Amino acid sequence: MNRIDEKFNKLKAERRKALIAFLTVGDPDMETSEQAIYTLQDEGADLIELGVPFSDPAADGPIIQRADERALANGTDIFAAFELAVKVRDNIKIPIVFSLYYNVIVQYGAEKFFADCHKAGIDGLIIPDLPFEESGEITEYTKKYGVYQIHFISPASKNRIKNISQYAKGFLHCILPFDADSLQTLDKTAAMIKNCTDMPVCAVSDRSDNDYIIKLSQHFDGVIISSDIVEAIASGKNKNERIDNLRTKMRDLKSCVMIYE
């Protein structure tokens, strides 16, 4: 069984919601990224997303875009990301997924990429620019190497959610709008999504707002935190300060993630 399945089965048995943490590989350097991964696990992350820096991260906000720029300036690429994954895997028991753009996979060579993911202990992939309807060309490799593609959904997906769920593995990565109206109807939105699928659904929060994170964890199976963690790592003057800031942020976030009622 894939480590993602094992994790969500364990969380369900313990009646806990997932805290999923994102960091950009190589921001500000590989040594800090390595220590950050260990810190995330130590402070209760249930799954780690390793963002592979890309020169045109169109699907990401300004905080992650700047992190990508810093990492690329340091020479970080997919090969460095694989090296880091291999280095930490024996000490990291929770699932690790890569978050990256499809062009990186194409340039690397799709089957070789999936084979190397399997060897490195990468459990899944989040590919923002490869929608469900166009993902058939990698399906054989996801099955052959046991590396899940984590699919995106949103309230706008509506009729697509059931179809995506039939083929989805691991969990569904839910993108929500941030306007005031969406906050007022969050319970209805979550109910609509959960009525369409039995898959674990984890919602993304890019808001530095503990009340919002609490609400998300009440309505979904987990919360995905990206910008807050990237900012915490970037805010220190040296590695020790960065890790201390990350540890403080993680403890704050962990206090917001609810249990199943």
- Please list the active-site residues: 49, 60
Q: SS in 3 state form for the chain?
A: CCHHHHHHHHHHHHCECEEEEEEECCCCCHHHHHHHHHHHHHCCCCEEEEECCCCCCCCCCHHHHHHHHHHHHCCCCHHHHHHHHHHHHCCCCCCEEEECCHHHHHHHCHHHHHHHHHHHCCCEEECCCCCHHHCHHHHHHHHHHCCEECCEECHHHCHHHHHHHHHCCCCEEECCCCCHHHHHCHHHHHHHHHHHCCCCEEEEECCCCHHHHHHHHHHCCEEEECHHHHHHHHCCCCHHHHHHHHHHHHHHHHCCCCECC
